[in-house]
Amino acid sequence: MTVATQRERQTATAAPTTAILELAGLHVSHGAINALKGIDMVVREGEVVALLGANGAGKTTTLRTVSGLHAPASGAVRFCGERIDGLPSHAIVGLGIGHSPEGRRVFADMTVLENLHMGAYRFKRLRQEDLERVFALFPRLAERRTQQAGTLSGGEQQMLAMGRALMGRPELLLLDEPSMGLAPLVVAQIFEIIKEINAQGTTVLLVEQNAAQALKVADRGYVLETGRITMQAPASELLDDPRVRAAYLGEAAR
Ligand code: ATP
């Protein structure tokens, strides 16, 4: 099944696009390291936005700051127009931001089902329809619901990390390197599922080293270099840009 991209749907319906996430002049330091040096970004409702950059550029720091895991030294993070920097991470989850972290970080000693329960902690109890949605997106997780998460394959653990984030019914889903270390076939599957999640109405901010795949599912992209945004453009333009192709798509500079 081909899932229409958000861009196609927006063109078809001319839906208004309001900012769901805004980063303004964001500076974040880890001790003496200035990881983010004043970044500005916008993610609009319904978009898939890719954040690209080399190792150490500050991509993970960006997502962790949005989730309240790092406090900015200055600047603002706004979700649906409201300042959220300074809020604890559980409050940010409660507002509707889900985070599938780098390295998956599933609870290895818990079963698949128990991990999914953990993702639903913002609600008093797990909602059956949320579980059914996750199992429909990831049938593999349904088959393995009683299996210990630590015994899942890398791809299955990635599915579980994404499923766990979705159990909190996020309006905005942060995905940190979902394709890392996975075989090409599994990578293709994961990106299809990202498209499907977006088509179901969830906005996505995607951090990826796999720039080619990320830009194929994204509406727009930002390039982060040593803590600064150096490019921002529609994904199709970035895919064609000689600098992006040379730096992130493994092609010789033209
Ligand atoms: P990667 O793709 O390798 O994960 P990244 O773009 O996600 O890289 P970050 O992990 O955000 O980059 O790191 C940005 C910079 O901040 C790097 O120089 C990194 O060494 C540094 N850094 C990140 N976390 C910490 C920390 N907890 N303590 C000290 N320095 C840190």
| Top mutation candidate among 41, 61, 64, 175 for ligand 1, by most atoms within 8 Å of CB | 61
Q: pTM here? A: 0.89
pLDDT at 52: 95
pLDDT at 252: 54
Residue 13 lies in a domain: no
Ligand 1 in contact with 64 (CB < 6 A)? no
Residue 4 lies in a domain: no
- Count of domains forming the chain: 1
Residue 5 lies in a domain: no
Ligand 1: atom nearest CA of 58 is 11
Residue 242 lies in a domain: yes
pLDDT at 182: 87
Residue nearest to atom 18 of ligand 1 (CA): 56
Residue 16 makes CB contacts below 8 A (sequence gap 6+) with none
Residue 132 sits in a domain whose CATH number is 3.40.50.300
d(CA 56, CA 168): 29
Ligand 1 in contact with 83 (CB < 6 A)? no
Angle at alpha carbon of residue 102, lines to 4 and 134, rounded to 5°: 45
Residue 1 lies in a domain: no
Ligand 1: atom nearest CA of 209 is 2
- Please answer whether residues 71 and 85 qualify as being in contact, where contact means their C-beta atoms are separated by less than 8 angstroms: yes
Q: Ligand 1 centre and the CA of 198: distance in Å?
A: 28
The range of the structural domain enclosing residue 141 comes to: 19-248
Strands 33-44 and 82-83: unpaired
d(CA 65, CA 59): 10
Residue 46 lies in a domain: yes
Strands 48-52 and 172-176: unpaired
Ligand 1 in contact with 210 (CB < 6 A)? no
Ligand 1: atom nearest CA of 207 is 7
- Please answer whether residues 194 and 217 qualify as being in contact, where contact means their C-beta atoms are separated by less than 8 angstroms: yes
Residue 212 lies in a domain: yes
d(CA 195, CA 217): 6
d(CA 39, CA 152): 37
Q: Ligand 1 centre and the CA of 32: distance in Å?
A: 12
Low-confidence ranges of the chain (pLDDT < 50): 1-7, 9-15, 253-254
- Please answer whether residues 29 and 73 qualify as being in contact, where contact means their C-beta atoms are separated by less than 8 angstroms: yes
Q: Ligand 1 centre and the CA of 61: distance in Å?
A: 6
Ligand 1 in contact with 141 (CB < 6 A)? no
Ligand 1 in contact with 56 (CB < 6 A)? yes
Q: Ligand 1 centre and the CA of 35: distance in Å?
A: 7
Ligand 1 in contact with 157 (CB < 6 A)? no
pLDDT at 165: 93
Residue 200 lies in a domain: yes
Residue nearest to atom 17 of ligand 1 (CA): 56
Q: Which position has the token pair 């600064």?
A: 228
Residue nearest to atom 29 of ligand 1 (CA): 30
